[in-house]
Amino acid sequence: MSEENIEEVNVLEAQIKHLQAEIKALQQQNNCKDETLHFRGQMQEAFSYMCGQTGGGGKEAVVSRLKEEVEELEEDLKLQTQMNGIDLNSCITKTLQSGDSKTVLQFCLSGHCSEITFQLEFQLSEVKVGPRTERTVTELNVVLDSNDLQNFSRFLSRVEENKDLLLFFRTLRTFSDRCDDRARTFQHFQEKFPSVVSLPGGCRSEVMSLKHPELPGCVLFVLWSVEVSTEGSVAPNLQLLPKIPEEALQMFPLQPAGGAAKAFQSLLRVLGPEAAIEAVVRATGLLPEPSVQTEG
């Protein structure tokens, strides 16, 4: 074989190897897409049609089936939102690592639960162990936008440390519900007793102030915080804080200033938050107790 023929064979072999490398790269990309995207039913048929893998009954039929699938997914999402109270605004997924035995995905979520907005960023590691696939959450970061964040900070640190997404969402829902209960109660009393009750920070704040119209210097503050433990338990904490001028205290030296606060705690244990607050509001405004109608 001449040198010219040998050189030509070498060039062809190099081109063949280059084409083989391109085919292998394309196959890996295709496998990566197959592992990342999981569709079923009508959605899978529609994407198969768009990829030219099947006729699927024509373009109009495929578009109709795809529309039905999207409507079903939207209905499922709406139902899930109503059940768990979590409304997602966006979800961005990125594949960080893809292999035969391990896949690492990065998720960026944003949404809200009632008036509380949140942002989550975490990594999900999927490792194949025989016939099973083990999933582990790693690198969890949480950002909350809430006026009660000081009561939530220790819990968030614990969640990020333990990578416990389920505990976060469950506690967020309970915490949000308790904050909504407080807001409804504050707004109810402000509308019912506008001459006595005021909300300096709005109905979603922790403070409600009570004062008699003719005694502007004497104010009672109802402080209602929602406490969250590091384990995720949520509980309300109500306190009554009096603000009495020094002149009034000198007129009644034998009456302890903390008497009203202790009496309020006793009312809480017996009546519960709403009835206890109403009793204090009526006493502050010198309002009569509601009449009780009996059947005669």
**Which tens digit of pLDDT belongs to each residue from 144-178?**
887 667 778 889 999 999 999 989 999 999 999 99
Tell me the residue type at 203. Answer: C
What's the pLDDT score for residue 296? 44
Lookup result for tokens 């416990």: 164
Does residue 155 sit within a domain? no
Q: Do residues 169 and 86 lie in contact, with contact meaning Cβ atoms separated by under 8 Å? A: yes
User: Tokens for 103?
Assistant: 């896949």
Q: Are residues 95 and 193 in the same domain?
A: no
What's the pLDDT score for residue 62? 67
Task: Give residue-wise pLDDT tens across range 217-243.
Answer: 788 899 999 999 999 999 999 999 988
CA distances, 14 to each of 8, 17, 22, 28, 36 (Å):
10, 5, 13, 21, 33
What are the start-end ranges of the H helices in the chain? Answer: 3-36, 41-50, 59-84, 153-162, 165-192, 246-251, 259-271, 273-284
Does residue 37 sit within a domain? no
Structural domain including 276 reads 176-284
Q: Are residues 204 and 254 in the same domain?
A: yes
CATH (domain of 140): 3.10.450
Lookup result for tokens 């990566």: 32
What's the pLDDT score for residue 6? 67
Does residue 28 sit within a domain? no
Q: Which DSSP category does 10 fall into?
A: H
Q: Do residues 183 and 207 lie in contact, with contact meaning Cβ atoms separated by under 8 Å? A: no
Burial of 198 (0-12, 13-18, 19+ CB in 10 A): middle
d(CA 231, CA 154): 10
Does residue 290 sit within a domain? no
| Pairing outcome for strands 207-210 and 197-198 | antiparallel
Q: Are residues 133 and 183 in the same domain?
A: no
Residue 227, C-beta contacts closer than 8 angstroms, at least 6 positions apart: 151, 234, 235, 236, 237
**pLDDT over 70 percentage in the chain:** 72
Burial of 277 (0-12, 13-18, 19+ CB in 10 A): buried
Q: Are residues 137 and 192 in the same domain?
A: no
What's the pLDDT score for residue 1? 56
What's the pLDDT score for residue 247? 56
